A and B are shown apart, each in its own frame.
Chain A
């Protein structure tokens, strides 16, 4: 940590406990947690705040060239020819690459390599990359892009997935590698007798939902820098959250052996899934650096970030949910169309996730889902925080709310009653371990005053509840292999410090701090004495990356294994010198302490020196692989299975202006079961950030193209893509629930994605409670809310519905 930053143990609030009352453990002495579960200064925050951390665009290399990508103004067109001669002739231009330089397709999912670094024969959306120029500066590169002549033959473009699927014209197949027309993926799975159980249900709720596309909006635009050293080693620095997969795809597309490539992820300015696969810029800078022999940098404009996208898929969902009169869910039948955009991205997985991840926290007796992903002429969709399941969660939770009304059951009670519980299997055969969902519900119910306040709120004000679950990593890696999913290497040195080498990508979520907390806890040293070196393929063991909320559980477990091995060595060496059993040695407070005689202690540095004298250099590795008994025994049954599941409940309070349709979310209570909060405030921050992101999707965000104007993005800027500001965001009360899981390090599960899901339906359900309208599509924009209010008013006027709430009548729209 930078100078001046202080150790958390300075503050009483943050103190790691002195060892006391040490119970005799069979293996070794345990003690109160030293740093675990407390509040920590992050290991890397101070440098970031002081402005000295080098993010990718902060890198500057001697002789560095600047690159720009020429992009397509057409949503769908054949490329008849590219003439870059004028560009190449410009002074200051060092190189131009086109799709012809990148004919090997790639894809983050090995089964669907269906994109090229630059368009080869055709462009598939406005903003598709066509050529890339490296020049002495950005202005020159831009001028050179302008000088490149591209001849296009425009083709009919598809912006609606169902229309795209209907097209039988092979010439209009959007994706150049697709073998099934515009069908990207279809999954249909059925568990149990869905039709029979629905037929026998007392109530069947039917609904159609539409979840609009949204995007990540990390404040740091994508950026990459490439350098080729005289020995031919290619180094690529990239703002990526998946260094390892980038490494693999670079090797494939550039046809270089992996050991000739080094990928480094510098500190990252946010990702949220938007940087979880290779992008055109990484291939382009690499190729241009190889070609020109000079380092090359490419920084996206904000517009390009929108074109790269890989954000939330728009989904059109039809749901039928059956209930018995007592509220028990019988069966769920879901049919979903996913609007995939031009490429597969993670789409194969998204299509599975849209069905597979929904079988908790509620017990379905039978379940069927039929999900179809279509290619369209839009920026490709992919994984955004809560990959694949945020959209169906929206539908399911509103279905439940509708059922609660139909059955006259309290919506929290209905959820409680259908909770699948801990230690069980879902209808799609996933093994669920720990489950704190009941406590989540109770915490938000109590904190919000649901029982007393909800019945008393007047027309226009309401409370809504929703629940959800999410994975802590997936049981199987993206490419099949038998090797560990995570690995960590730790070295201790004579000064009493630890160095952690981890391939994991800290994307701002705090994973480096999480690793430091584990090592600090095990070795009794403060976070200040720990260096985390991460996400450098030359220095660190392979890690698969920051996605699927896998890092805390998987990398945490690997780290814990290595740290415990070191702790045993250190304790052993100390014990030998004190001539006491090893279990009496406690590591805490930057000391090794005799648990039975706390006056006897040495510094950590001394203890490490003794251990180094005994064992040689103190280095250990730890690996983690997933348990293989968690998934279903059917085709696709591994996709979505996780070692452990988190659970969340959101409770939103809203105020609806019935005359303008403006919805104000006043407060959101959220309780999240993360198993064990290794660092409390970081976990709270994940819960708050997730909740906020869902709130933005619910109320204002829309990542859409304009079919009437050639398929241009409706507004690829942070002015037109409206992300909530400080003054829009509701108060968020985050509560941590800890149902520890046997598969997590110290019981820990994920916290970074789960707490987004139910944020959105909780707001929808609160709007219903406030004014009696169902908003089955996002965002809940004022015009849409007002239209729904009018529709309800008309039905009330026709006598089809009673007034929603007693009290003052709703105001009419007219002044």
Chain B
């Protein structure tokens, strides 16, 4: 039961995508239930928690408060993009610091943090990271380990050591 679906053309994680969606669907619904990009999460229904944070043209945005139609012609990046290819330094740092407990808020936090580190291109302080991530709630960690990881990743990235995070290339037991 939905109005006439509109055909949307957009880029998702670099790929051109055409998808039909009813006009009252949000970007979050299209990502999760049409494109099966389940990394973006639904936590609060209406922009209060940040679990659905994606990037639109590189800028963090709440997919649950974005009409899918408003993404027409834009470039949408979800957490799945961070997981492609070699391990991203942010993911690596989150992994090393046990910054993800249940992991449900993590994709949203990663998308906000990635934008911060990409814009700064320099090590960030804990308070800068906290300010930038203040739209994302986490209920598990008390934020401590997330901040440890973001600061760590910002240092790794600005050293330019890439995805290996200062560890030997590849996993001995990977």
Q: Which residues of chain A have a CB within 8 Å of any CB of chain B?
A: 1, 3-7, 9-11, 39-42, 44-46, 48-55, 57-58, 60, 91-92, 136-137, 139-140, 143, 216-221, 267-272, 299, 301-303, 507-510, 526, 528-529, 590, 681-682, 684-685, 688-693, 695, 717-719, 723, 725-727, 729, 731-732, 734
Give the dominant DSSP class at B's interface.
loop
Most buried by B among A39, A51, A272, A688: A51
B91 in the interface (beta carbon within 8 A)? yes
The residue on B at minimum CB distance from A528 is B173
**Can you pick out 5 interface pairs between chain A and chain B where the beta carbons lie within 8 Å of each other?**
A3-B174, A6-B87, A7-B173, A51-B107, A689-B142
The residue on A at minimum CB distance from B37 is A51
Chain B 65-104 interface mask (CB, 8 Å, partner A; 1/0): 0000000000000111011001100010011111011111
Residues of A near B133 (CB, < 8 A) are 726
Min CB distance A34 to B, Å, is 13
Given A60-B36, A528-B173, A719-B48, A137 and B142 contact (CB-CB distance below 8 Å): no
A49-B95, A50-B83, A528-B171 known; 20 other A-B pairs, CB under 8 Å?
Answer: A4-B87, A5-B174, A9-B173, A45-B98, A46-B95, A49-B100, A50-B80, A52-B39, A219-B137, A220-B43, A267-B103, A268-B102, A681-B145, A682-B98, A684-B144, A717-B46, A717-B48, A718-B43, A726-B134, A726-B136
B140 touches A508 (CB 8 A): yes
Residues of A near B38 (CB, < 8 A) are 51-52, 54-55, 58
Given A50-B39, A51-B83, A219-B137, A508 and B171 contact (CB-CB distance below 8 Å): no
Min CB distance A45 to B, Å, is 5
Residues of A near B105 (CB, < 8 A) are 219, 269
B94 touches A45 (CB 8 A): yes
Min CB distance A512 to B, Å, is 12
Could you tell me the distance between the alpha carbons of A704 and B37 in the complex, rounded to whole angstroms?
Answer: 36
Residues of A near B170 (CB, < 8 A) are 6
A48 touches B106 (CB 8 A): yes
Given A92-B1, A270-B139, A48 and B100 contact (CB-CB distance below 8 Å): yes
The residue on A at minimum CB distance from B166 is A11
Most buried by B among A40, A269, A271, A725: A269
A681 touches B97 (CB 8 A): yes
The residue on A at minimum CB distance from B95 is A41
Could you tell me the distance between the alpha carbons of A218 and B141 in the complex, rounded to whole angstroms?
Answer: 11
Could you tell me the distance between the alpha carbons of A301 and B43 in the complex, rounded to whole angstroms?
Answer: 9
Residues of A near B17 (CB, < 8 A) are none
From A49, A269, A688, contact of B142 by CB (8 A):
A688
Could you tell me the distance between the alpha carbons of A497 and B37 in the complex, rounded to whole angstroms?
Answer: 31
A685 touches B1 (CB 8 A): no
A691 touches B95 (CB 8 A): no
Given A10-B167, A51-B38, A692 and B134 contact (CB-CB distance below 8 Å): no
Give the dominant DSSP class at A's interface.
loop
Chain B 99-119 interface mask (CB, 8 Å, partner A; 1/0): 011111111001000000000
The residue on B at minimum CB distance from A48 is B103
Sort A-B residue pairs by CB-CB distance and give the 10 closest, nearest first: A51-B39, A508-B102, A48-B103, A50-B83, A269-B104, A692-B142, A6-B171, A718-B48, A688-B142, A58-B38
From B1, B39, B174, contact of A136 by CB (8 A):
B1
B102 touches A507 (CB 8 A): yes
Most buried by B among A41, A216, A268: A41
B5 in the interface (beta carbon within 8 A)? no
Residues of B near A695 (CB, < 8 A) are 142
From B49, B82, B95, B138, contact of A42 by CB (8 A):
B95
Chain B 119-147 interface mask (CB, 8 Å, partner A; 1/0): 00000000001110111111111111111
B26 in the interface (beta carbon within 8 A)? no
A270 touches B104 (CB 8 A): yes
Min CB distance A134 to B, Å, is 14
Could you tell me the distance between the alpha carbons of A3 and B107 in the complex, rounded to whole angstroms?
Answer: 18
B15 in the interface (beta carbon within 8 A)? no
B42 touches A221 (CB 8 A): yes
Min CB distance A35 to B, Å, is 12
Chain B 4-41 interface mask (CB, 8 Å, partner A; 1/0): 00000000000000000000000000001100111111
Chain B 138-174 interface mask (CB, 8 Å, partner A; 1/0): 1111111111000000000000000000111011111
Given A139-B2, A509-B101, A218 and B139 contact (CB-CB distance below 8 Å): yes
A49 touches B106 (CB 8 A): yes
B174 touches A725 (CB 8 A): no
B98 touches A7 (CB 8 A): no
From A270, A302, A528, contact of B44 by CB (8 A):
A302
Min CB distance A537 to B, Å, is 21
Most buried by B among A44, A137, A301, A725: A725
Residues of A near B83 (CB, < 8 A) are 49-52
B51 in the interface (beta carbon within 8 A)? yes
Could you tell me the distance between the alpha carbons of A719 and B49 in the complex, rounded to whole angstroms?
Answer: 8
Residues of B near A53 (CB, < 8 A) are 103
Residues of B near A528 (CB, < 8 A) are 171, 173-174
Residues of A near B46 (CB, < 8 A) are 302, 717, 719
Count class of interface residues, chain B: 35 or more
The residue on B at minimum CB distance from A41 is B95
From A40, A50, A689, contact of B79 by CB (8 A):
A50
Min CB distance B13 to A, Å, is 10
Could you tell me the distance between the alpha carbons of A307 and B158 in the complex, rounded to whole angstroms?
Answer: 47
Min CB distance B139 to A, Å, is 5
The residue on A at minimum CB distance from B127 is A727
The residue on B at minimum CB distance from A216 is B139
The residue on A at minimum CB distance from B136 is A726
B144 touches A55 (CB 8 A): no
A57 touches B42 (CB 8 A): yes
A11 touches B96 (CB 8 A): yes
The residue on A at minimum CB distance from B138 is A219
Could you tell me the distance between the alpha carbons of A1 and B174 in the complex, rounded to whole angstroms?
Answer: 8
Min CB distance A496 to B, Å, is 10
A5 touches B171 (CB 8 A): yes
A50 touches B142 (CB 8 A): no
From A50, A143, A218, contact of B82 by CB (8 A):
A50
Given A11-B96, A528-B171, A45 and B103 contact (CB-CB distance below 8 Å): yes
Min CB distance B73 to A, Å, is 24
Most buried by A among B39, B94, B144: B144
Given A219-B41, A219-B105, A49 and B91 contact (CB-CB distance below 8 Å): yes
From B94, B134, B135, contact of A49 by CB (8 A):
B94
Residues of A near B129 (CB, < 8 A) are 726
A723 touches B139 (CB 8 A): yes
Could you tell me the distance between the alpha carbons of A360 and B2 in the complex, rounded to whole angstroms?
Answer: 60
Could you tell me the distance between the alpha carbons of A485 and B166 in the complex, rounded to whole angstroms?
Answer: 43
B139 touches A219 (CB 8 A): yes
Could you tell me the distance between the alpha carbons of A217 and B142 in the complex, rounded to whole angstroms?
Answer: 13
The residue on B at minimum CB distance from A1 is B174
The residue on A at minimum CB distance from B48 is A718
Residues of A near B107 (CB, < 8 A) are 49, 51
A301 touches B45 (CB 8 A): yes
From B131, B137, B140, B168, contact of A10 by CB (8 A):
B168
Min CB distance B14 to A, Å, is 15
Min CB distance B60 to A, Å, is 14
Residues of A near B33 (CB, < 8 A) are 60
A269 touches B134 (CB 8 A): no
B173 touches A526 (CB 8 A): yes
Could you tell me the distance between the alpha carbons of A221 and B139 in the complex, rounded to whole angstroms?
Answer: 12
Min CB distance B168 to A, Å, is 5
Min CB distance A559 to B, Å, is 20
Residues of A near B174 (CB, < 8 A) are 1, 3-7, 528
Min CB distance B150 to A, Å, is 10
The residue on B at minimum CB distance from A695 is B142
From B51, B80, B110, B141, contact of A52 by CB (8 A):
B80
Given A51-B38, A219-B137, A726 and B1 contact (CB-CB distance below 8 Å): no
A692 touches B141 (CB 8 A): yes
